Amino acid sequence: MLLILHRGAQNVPEEALQTVPLPESTKSYRPIPHAVLALFIKEQRITMLSGFTHSGLSYGLKRNGQQFFGIHTYWSDQNEARTFHRFSQLL
């Protein structure tokens, strides 16, 4: 499943998330890498969605990688497609 992205955004493979540079931290803002967020979501699905099979993912970036979007799709035991994780991260 691909994300339908608005003007200026592009679908990217998971490996592209590793190449996005982080902006500098401030006293009130501490960014996390997109790849770390994606890995966290993948790890959470193991415990939170037992009984479901991961069937696909899609990532998108916009504004030179400073906006991150994604979707993970899962299949239930009844073979009914369900999408549980939609996320976005702004750097």
pLDDT tens per residue across span 43-62: 887 777 777 777 788 899 98
Domain membership of residue 2 (yes or no) is no
**Separation CA 41–CA 71 (nearest Å):** 10
pLDDT at 91 exceeding the cut of 50: no
**Separation CA 61–CA 72 (nearest Å):** 15
pLDDT at 90 exceeding the cut of 60: no
pLDDT digits (tens, 9 = 90+) for 4-26: 778 888 889 999 999 999 888 99
Domain membership of residue 3 (yes or no) is no
| 75: CATH | 2.20.25
Tell me which residue range forms the domain holding 75: 10-14+31-90
Asked whether the beta carbons of 70 and 2 are under 8 A apart, the reply is: no
Give the dihedral sign, CA 10/15/20/25.
Answer: positive
**Which helix (H) or strand (E) element contains residue 75?**
strand 67-75
Q: How many domains does the chain have?
A: 1
